Chains A and B, each alone.
Chain A
Amino acid sequence: MKTYRNLFNNLSEKTPPQGLCLSIIKKVRSIQSRNAKIRFTLSSIVTLVSLGGIFESILKLIESSNQSGFSQYFSLIFSDSTLFFSYWKEFGLSLVESLPLVSLVFLLGIVVVFLWSGARALKDARRTFLPA
């Protein structure tokens, strides 16, 4: 039994032009490359800014440590270790209380951002300057 399915199988089959597949892949690669360039630029900027942020955060952490007394307590471990080991519990509590937590968390956050954006910039640099 011949049906419309059989009939339309006789519809002329066109062969796509020789270079069409290649042209499609070229277009896709050019979009990939353009996107990689944009991401590389953005992640490089974030990396540089976060690097600057790391230096600022370290300076802020040192300042906060001095203000809270953490650096003085901490230096006692090395300058007078017998005192430290005699009163290690109270000493430990004082260290924890004077820890400049906010500055420390901020520094750690900036370091994470730096590492993440640096890794992305490297990956996108490979795609931009060494395309497949």
Chain B
Amino acid sequence: MKVLVPVKRVVDYNVKVRVKADGSGVETANVKMSMNPFDEIAVEEAVRLREKGVAGEIVAVSCGPNAAQEQLRTALAMGADRGILVEHDGVLEPLAVAKLLKTIVAKEGPALVILGKQAIDDDMSATGQMLAALLGWGQGTFASKIEKEGESLRVTREVDGGLETVSLKLPAIVTTDLRLNEPRYASLPNIMKARKKPIETLKPADLGVDPTPRLSVLKVEEPAKRQAGKKVGSVQELVEKLRNEAKVI
């Protein structure tokens, strides 16, 4: 079955972001950008499914600026076969991305779309579920295990308090949680091969989608700073302070 994997270009996991002085957003100029870590897990899962003989062609798709081609190349170097860039500068909210992906799904006809559970920049945790809604497909979110069983997908999900297992009719949407797998490093032969794999570029207008955001950002601020407290010299002093000063025990 064909698998579609959307990947997002985000500020690298290790970067400590700074809020712009004018409060209009976060400083992203000259900052290291990478593939969203949950999306790497999604690509890895697609490649593992292919290695098991379950998945066939893997198509990576990214909605974002032209530079997102780098993330598509990373996906190709991990094992995806083709890339699609839906090029758009400016904010793309999960709803808009879901609408764009819906048109790509109509073109490509995958049986499974695997997405990261959330993007580490906006932390919305919404695109997969929204795409499932627009397509009228079942959704297995926060997946820690995926197995194909006949024409269904058995998905183990991480939920509050433990794990839950659901069966989804294919075609379906899955969003990845952290412990689904550990993504492979791109090997040199695959990086070389990735250069020759095609990347198609489209625009939202080509797909008939209006990407205008519904949310306007009025301001972005740093969270209230916590003051560093004091060091205590012993367990006895700690307990005394917690009892008599902070009064929490």
Tell whether A and B belong to one assembly: no
Contact surface of A with B, Cβ cutoff 8 Å: none
